[in-house]
Structure 1
Amino acid sequence: MAALATHRLLIDVPGRADGRPLDLRLAPGERWGVLGPNGAGKTTLLHTLAGLRPPRSGEVHLEGRALSGWRRRALARRLGVVFQERHDDFPATVRETALIGRHPFLSPWQQEGPEDHARAEAALSRLDLSHLAERELATLSGGERQRVSLATVLTQAPAVWLADEPTNHLDLHHQVAVMGLLAEQAEGGGAVMMCLHDLNLAARWCSHLLLLYPDGEACWGPAEAMLAPAALERLYDQALTRVEVDGAPVFVPRC
Structure 2
Amino acid sequence: MEPLQTRQLVIDIPGRAKGSPLNLTVEAGQVWGVLGPNGAGKTTLLHTLAGLRPPRGGEVCLGEHSLTALGRRNLARQLGLVFQDRQDGFPATVLETALIGRHPWLSPWQMETGDDVDRARSALQALDVAHLEDRLVSTLSGGERQRVSIATLLTQNPDTWLLDEPTNHLDLHHQVAVMQLLKRQADTGRAIFMCLHDLNLAARWCDHLLLLYPNGDACWGPASQMLVPSALEALYNQKLITVEADGAPVFVPAKR
TM-score band (shorter)? over 0.9
**1:177 is matched by which residue type in structure 2?**
A
State the distance in 2 between where 1:2 and 1:126 align: 26
State the distance in 1 between where 2:18 and 2:115 align: 46
User: CA shift at 1:63, angstroms?
Assistant: 2.5
State the distance in 1 between where 2:229 and 2:71 align: 43
Structure 1, unmatched stretches of 5+, are none
State the distance in 2 between where 1:191 and 1:228 align: 24
1:47 aligns to 2:47 (yes or no): yes
Aligned to 1:146: 146
State the distance in 1 between where 2:2 and 2:69 align: 16
Aligned to 2:29: 29
State the distance in 1 between where 2:109 and 2:159 align: 25
Does structure 2 retain, via aligned residues, the 8 Å contact 1:208–1:222? yes
Q: Deviations over 1:101-124 (max 9, x none)?
A: 000111111110011011101000
Aligned to 2:58: 58
Does structure 2 retain, via aligned residues, the 8 Å contact 1:7–1:59? yes
State the distance in 2 between where 1:58 and 1:219 align: 17
Higher deviation after alignment, 29-38 or 180-189: 180-189
Does structure 1 retain, via aligned residues, the 8 Å contact 2:11–2:19? no
Does structure 1 retain, via aligned residues, the 8 Å contact 2:233–2:239? yes
**1:222 is matched by which residue type in structure 2?**
P
Q: Deviations over 1:44-85 (max 9, x none)?
A: 000000000000000100122110110110001110000000
User: CA shift at 1:133, angstroms?
Assistant: 0.6
1:221 aligns to 2:221 (yes or no): yes
State the distance in 2 between where 1:170 and 1:65 align: 36
Aligned to 1:172: 172
Does structure 1 retain, via aligned residues, the 8 Å contact 2:7–2:59? yes
State the distance in 1 between where 2:246 and 2:217 align: 33
State the distance in 2 between where 1:64 and 1:31 align: 21
Aligned to 1:106: 106
Aligned to 2:248: 248
Aligned to 2:200: 200
State the distance in 2 between where 1:227 and 1:131 align: 39
Q: For the aligned residues, what is the CA RMSD?
A: 0.8
User: CA shift at 1:2, angstroms?
Assistant: 5.5
State the distance in 2 between where 1:111 and 1:251 align: 49
1:137 aligns to 2:137 (yes or no): yes
State the distance in 1 between where 2:192 and 2:97 align: 22
TM-score (norm 1): 0.99
User: CA shift at 1:3, angstroms?
Assistant: 1.4
Q: Please state whether the residue corresponding to 1:170 is helix, strand or coil.
A: coil
**2:95 is matched by which residue type in structure 1?**
R
Q: Deviations over 1:160-190 (max 9, x none)?
A: 0000000000000000011111111111101
TM-score (norm 2): 0.98
Q: Please state whether the residue corresponding to 1:177 is helix, strand or coil.
A: helix
State the distance in 2 between where 1:29 and 1:2 align: 12
State the distance in 2 between where 1:19 and 1:137 align: 38
**1:245 is matched by which residue type in structure 2?**
A
Aligned to 2:239: 239
Does structure 1 retain, via aligned residues, the 8 Å contact 2:42–2:212? yes
Q: Deviations over 1:130-167 (max 9, x none)?
A: 11010011110000000000000000000000000000
Structure 2, unmatched stretches of 5+, are none
Does structure 1 retain, via aligned residues, the 8 Å contact 2:28–2:191? yes
**2:214 is matched by which residue type in structure 1?**
P
Runs of 4+ residues over 6 Å off in structure 1: none
